[in-house]
């Protein structure tokens, strides 16, 4: 899915100037917790978040996030926009809530990032073993 598709699906706007709306995103994630973004995404993910401080951009840079969508109509402060410019990470805005922004994209065919071992280890320990016992 390309960024201009994303914008039309979520009825959103581009915050950054001169962004490449042909950039592809492979999958999506939604979180206000940056550690969760680092743990539960892959390269080329589109990140939905309500966190507008520069750490959102740092996280995107380090986790190889393709673009950021700020949800609930929240707009990032100038220092976040400036850092994104330097790091080449497109910033988009959605007036919808996290749930609805993600839901629209998922419905339009943008998949999630799948399941991760870090989750499943704990899951199996808690549920699968106790079910047997």
Partner 1 sequence: MEKKPIQEVTKLQELTYELTVGHAMSPKVITVSSQDTMAQFREVLRVNRISGTPVVEDGEMVGVVSIEDLIKALATGELNAIVGDKMCQHVETLYADEPLVRAVDKFARFKFGRFPVVDRDGHLVGIITQGNIMHTLLRRLEVDYREEGIHRYRASHIFEDIIADEAALVFGYRIIGRDFDRAGAASGNLKTTLSRLGFNPRIIRRVAIATYEGEINIVVYTNGGEIVAEVRPDRIHIEVLDNGPGIPDVDLAMQPGYSTAPDWVREMGFGAGMGLPNIKACSDQMKLESTVGVGTRLEITIYADETGEHGRREG
Q: Which residues bind partner 1 (CB under 8 A)?
A: 4, 18, 20, 22, 32-36, 38-39, 42-43, 49, 51, 53-56, 58-59, 61-64, 79, 87-88, 113-118, 120, 122
Q: How far, CA to CA in Å, does 120 sit from each of 36, 40, 89, 123, 125?
A: 15, 12, 31, 5, 8
Question: Is residue 98 within 8 Å of residue 71, measured between CB atoms?
Answer: yes
Least distance to partner 1, CB of residue 103, Å: 22
Nearer to partner 1, 36 or 100 (CB): 36
Q: By the 8 A CB rule, do 59 and 83 touch?
A: no
Query: Looking at beta carbons only, is 20 or 128 nearer to partner 1?
Result: 20
CB of 13 vs partner 1, minimal distance in Å: 13
Nearer to partner 1, 13 or 87 (CB): 87
Min dist. Cβ of residue 104 to partner 1 (A): 18
First to last CA, the chain: 45
* Of residues 73 and 88, the one with the C-beta less far from partner 1: 88
Enumerate residues 6+ apart whose C-beta is below 8 A from 96. 10, 11, 71, 72, 104
């Amino acid at each position: 899915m390309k960024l201009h598709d994303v914008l039309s699906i979520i009825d959103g706007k581009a915050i950054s100037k001169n962004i490449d709306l042909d950039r592809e995103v492979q999958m999506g994630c939604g979180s206000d917790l940056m550690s969760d973004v680092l743990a539960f995404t892959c390269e080329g993910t589109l990140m939905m978040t309500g966190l507008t401080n520069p750490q959102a951009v740092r996280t995107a840079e380090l986790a190889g996030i393709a673009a950021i969508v700020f949800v609930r109509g929240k707009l990032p402060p100038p220092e976040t926009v400036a850092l994104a410019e330097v790091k080449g990470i497109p910033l988009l805005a959605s007036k919808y809530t996290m749930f609805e922004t993600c839901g629209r994209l998922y419905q339009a065919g943008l998949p999630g990032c799948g399941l991760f071992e870090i989750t499943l280890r704990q899951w199996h320990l808690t549920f699968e073993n106790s079910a047997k016992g």
